[in-house]
Amino acid sequence: MPQQRPPFGVLLANLGTPQAPTASAVRRYLAEFLWDKRVVDAPRPLWWLILNGIILRTRPGRVAKAYASVWTDEGSPLMSISRQQQQALSSALKAEFGCDIPVALAMTYGEPSMEQAGRELRQAGVENMLVLPLYPQYSASTTAAVFDRLAKGLKACPHLPQMRFVNEYHLHPQYIKALADSVREYRAEHGSGDKLLMSFHGIPERYERQGDPYPSQCRATAVAVAAELGLADDQWLCSFQSRFGREEWVKPYTDATLEEWGKAGVKRVDVISPAFSADCLETLEELDVENREHFQHHGGGDYHYIPCLNVRADHIALMTALVKDHTQGW
Residue 275 near residue 290 (C-beta atoms within 8 A)? no
Neighbours of 143 (CB within 10 A): 23
Burial class (CB in 10 A: 0-12, 13-18, 19+), 87: middle
The amino acid occupying position 231 is: L
In the annotated binding site for Fe(2+), the residues are 201, 282
Start-end of H helices in 238-283: 254-263, 281
Strand partners, 104: 11
Report the C-alpha gap between 257 and 252 in whole angstroms: 7
What torsion do the CA atoms of 296, 298, 301, 304 make, to the nearest 10 degrees? -50
**3 state SS of 159:** coil
In the annotated binding site, the residues are 201, 282
| DSSP of 110-123 | SSS-HHHHHHHHHH
Between the alpha carbon of residue 301 and those of residues 185, 264, 266, 279, the distances in Å are 21, 10, 6, 24
Neighbours of 220 (CB within 10 A): 16
Positive or negative: CA dihedral 65, 67, 73, 75: negative
Q: In the β-sheet with 268-272, what is the strand arrangement from edge to edge?
A: 236-241, 195-201, 268-272, 302-305
